[in-house]
Structure 1
């Protein structure tokens, strides 16, 4: 099992990446959401120039806000600073798009995006159409002049859950990113769907195919519970992000199929809470996503229950309990856990996890 951290990138706090390397983490993923945080690639550039070992990448970059050649160019530039330890997490934009009131990229468009991206990052020429326009052939013209690095491989880790996205991940990805609370059955079914996608383009999914899960953690101190104030301070923002996700699906077409059974009463309370927000309904997505994964608005604190933490896969408990959870996930086929704590308590939270969990794992 590898251990990573998803960082809410604040450009002035780029030294957190240096600290993560010193703590012993294997990878640092910079979240990408243009209406919420600093630019992921600018932050990664500072991190790459000031670290030597830790793997660096996006967690995850958003197809809907950059053209495929731009994304390839940006991560290949980071790869020039950190050759061989750069990766690209890429997704359709469940937050970055919805925080603008837009839908994520459609599965068919995402597949084409990945096809172009993979070719460029392998130094190949590829046919490319801008929007619905005519296809033209594109390639990086000066890869040997020090501008970018496509000589050292940049693995592509695709955030995928639906069948079409999973097939695309198998066809063009080197790994998959998912949520930590997925069951063994779902993980295995997803893997088979990705194998099917790989076969569709004449490819065999390699044994090195990487599987990473986004989660959060807090090592409990004696006498603490999962809903102690300190714990909510450290993990509340990430737990609340699931409520935001449920709300988006409900808003779109009334879908509540992803709401955890043990959280149905909580969901009803949260939905009533959103309906009383002062923000007009047409712009309510702005208020719902306020603080998303970075900090917890005080009015949302009451929704961080033990049921929510458990149903979203939070690694909250004494060290032995967390290690047991991780062993179970590793046996299910996960290669990496990446943690996303609240910004203000990130260093303390991650250092304690490194000292009390990673060191004993």
Structure 2
């Protein structure tokens, strides 16, 4: 099992990446969300210039807000600073688009986006249309890779955030790995792998044995006798746990879909929905208020929704060191190769150092 951290990137706090390397983490993912955080690539550049071992990448880049050649160019620039230890996590932009009141990228456009990315990041030439489909295609390639502007001599692995069948097939066709949430079952993980193999087969590719599987989660090592919902635990994991409530709200607001709401959280969901209905912002703009603090900090009025049921349902690694290690062994047996932790910004250093000392050191 590899251990990563998803960092809420703040340009003034890039030294956290240096500290993660010292703590022994394998990789660090910079979250990409243009209305919420600092620019992921700017922060990654600072991290790349000041580290030597830890792998660095986006967690995950938002396809709809940048053209595919621009994303390839940005991550290849980071690769020039840290050759061979850079990866690109990429997704359709659920949060980054929803926080602007927009929909994520459609699966067909995402597939085309990945096709162009993969070719460019392997130093190739590829036919490209600006809007992905409707316009006339032209051939593009990086013209000056040998002059030190970018590095595509060391191919950048592409880790695709995918859950639906079309996105999974695209991941199999053009990705080097997949990112998912940590609470997925063994059956769902295996089914997803089958669908990705189908996607690889469709383009004459064999899904490599080294195909990477990572899961985004959060953790807190309990102190002796401590409750899962102590103030300290909520301070550390509250923002990430609450992000699931934001996700459920977005699906419900879009078309009334509550199929992803965990059964053990139905009462909690009803209480949260009632809470959002009393928000001051009009419904058409309420996404701004719902996503306030998303994965970075927890608004005080949302603390009451961080319950043991929510932590359990979202796959949070909260428990004693032995309990967390058992959870990790189970996930590794299910096929996961990496977990990436996302704690609250204010508690990140203490939370991640504690996890490194009490869990990673014993794993």
TM-fit CA distance, 1:137: 0.5
Tell me the secondary structure at the aligned position of residue 150 of structure 1: coil
Q: Are residues 1:8 and 2:4 paired? A: no
Partner of 1:201: 203
TM-fit CA distance, 1:222: 1.1
Partner of 1:19: 19
Partner of 1:265: 267
TM-fit CA distance, 1:155: 0.2
Tell me the secondary structure at the aligned position of residue 353 of structure 1: helix
1:279-290 aligned within 5 A: 279-290=281-292
Tell me the secondary structure at the aligned position of residue 4 of structure 2: strand
Q: Which runs of 4+ in 1 moved over 6 A?
A: none
Match of 2:316 among 314, 317, 321: 314
Partner of 2:117: 117
Partner of 1:53: 53
C-alpha separation between the residues in 2 aligned to 1:85 and 1:123? 17
Q: Are residues 1:229 and 2:213 paired? A: no
Tell me the secondary structure at the aligned position of residue 190 of structure 1: helix
C-alpha separation between the residues in 2 aligned to 1:263 and 1:23? 35
TM-fit CA distance, 1:295: 0.2
Matched positions, count: 361
Coordinate RMSD, CA, aligned:
0.3
TM-fit CA distance, 1:166: 0.1
TM-fit CA distance, 1:153: 1.4
Q: Where does the alignment leave 5 or more consecutive residues of structure 1 unmatched?
A: none
Q: Are residues 1:169 and 2:171 paired? A: yes
1:297-336 aligned within 5 A: 297-336=299-338
Tell me the secondary structure at the aligned position of residue 35 of structure 1: coil
C-alpha separation between the residues in 2 aligned to 1:144 and 1:352? 43
TM-fit CA distance, 1:93: 0.4
TM-fit CA distance, 1:324: 0.1
C-alpha separation between the residues in 2 aligned to 1:281 and 1:213? 32
Partner of 2:181: 179
C-alpha separation between the residues in 2 aligned to 1:140 and 1:204? 27
Tell me the secondary structure at the aligned position of residue 316 of structure 1: strand
TM-fit CA distance, 1:86: 0.1
TM-fit CA distance, 1:223: 1.8
Match of 1:353 among 340, 352, 355: 355
Partner of 1:220: 222
TM-fit CA distance, 1:9: 0.1
Q: Are residues 1:248 and 2:250 paired? A: yes
Tell me the secondary structure at the aligned position of residue 221 of structure 1: coil
TM-fit CA distance, 1:202: 0.1
TM-fit CA distance, 1:292: 0.0
Q: Where does the alignment leave 5 or more consecutive residues of structure 2 unmatched?
A: none
C-alpha separation between the residues in 2 aligned to 1:206 and 1:134? 33
**Structure-2-length-normalised TM-score:** 0.99
**Structure-1-length-normalised TM-score:** 1.00
